[in-house]
Amino acid sequence: MFNILKTAVLMAAITGLFMAIGAMIGGRSGMMIALLVAIGMNFFSYWFSDTMVLKMYKAREVDATTAPHFYAMVQELAQRAQLPMPRVYLIDESAPNAFATGRNPEHAAVAATTGILNVLTERELRGVMAHELAHVKHRDILISTISATMAGAISMLANFAMFFGGRDQDGRRSNPLVGIAVAILAPMAAGLIQMAISRAREFEADRGGAEISGDPHALASALQKIHRHAQGMPMEAAERHPETAQMMIMNPLSGGGLRGLFSTHPSTEERVERLMAMARGAA
């Protein structure tokens, strides 16, 4: 129920941003058009955003024949988590990372880069995939896919406002500086919404993943190793679509500045510390 409420709040906040930008571009009529677009985008995000994200990353679906070991690992973990078997994808990318997507556990998919398969041990990879299945079990995947799709759309709409200007409620042209401000602030606002939801969600998925795999140490070790290897190894698809970064187990974006300030992921050190405390408590 709480995740359903979070999804509703997210949709409402993103829709509000859409309407505000629409009002800036076209006054009252622009606001109404933006509302209709937002409703359509929310509908599209619910049904098709997972497919779109997988295409962004050029993910290829695998099965027991094409990736037997990896597929069997996910299958065993899904059974331990009492989840339906998700679709399984690989991404031909050297940067180590993974994510889950879909609208519910019955229509879920998990994806991992070939880089993460090469970098991690079997135990560590098992911990990572358990983390992704925890997202599925907690029904986080709908929130992440919707927020990724809508944040990208807000950025495009904000850029439109900057280049083509806007109108006030009476239809008069607005100050061009307003358009520039919207182009900067609207994506930041969308990012703050993602950040507020995503950071707490990652901690919960770490805890759930450790419970599913039964091995908090392995997930902690995997996070440390991914963090080390990911530095200086940008993930090209994520750089092109930064709104999808919050879906990953580790922030795939390079550079600091505002991207670091508004990171959707908690620090690796804090995540590892919590997992080690969980391991000590289970000992």
Catalytic residues: 132
Least Cα distance to 150 among 186, 177, 102, 107 occurs for 186
Q: How far apart are CA 129 and CA 122, in angstroms?
A: 11
184-207 burial string, b = 16+ CB within 10 Å, else e?
eebbebbbebbbebbbebbeebbb
Q: What angle do CA 198, 200, 202 make, to 5 degrees?
A: 70
How distant, in Å, are the alpha carbons of 64, 100, 148, 187 from that of 87? 11, 10, 20, 31
Q: How far apart are CA 129 and CA 85, in angstroms?
A: 13
Q: How far apart are CA 190 and CA 89, in angstroms?
A: 28
How many Å is the Cα radius of gyration of the chain? 20
Beta bridge partners of residue 109, listed in sequence order: 87, 101
Q: Are 130 and 153 in contact (CB under 8 A)?
A: no
Please report the sign of the dihedral spanned by the C-alpha atoms of residue 190, residue 37, residue 11, residue 110. Answer: negative
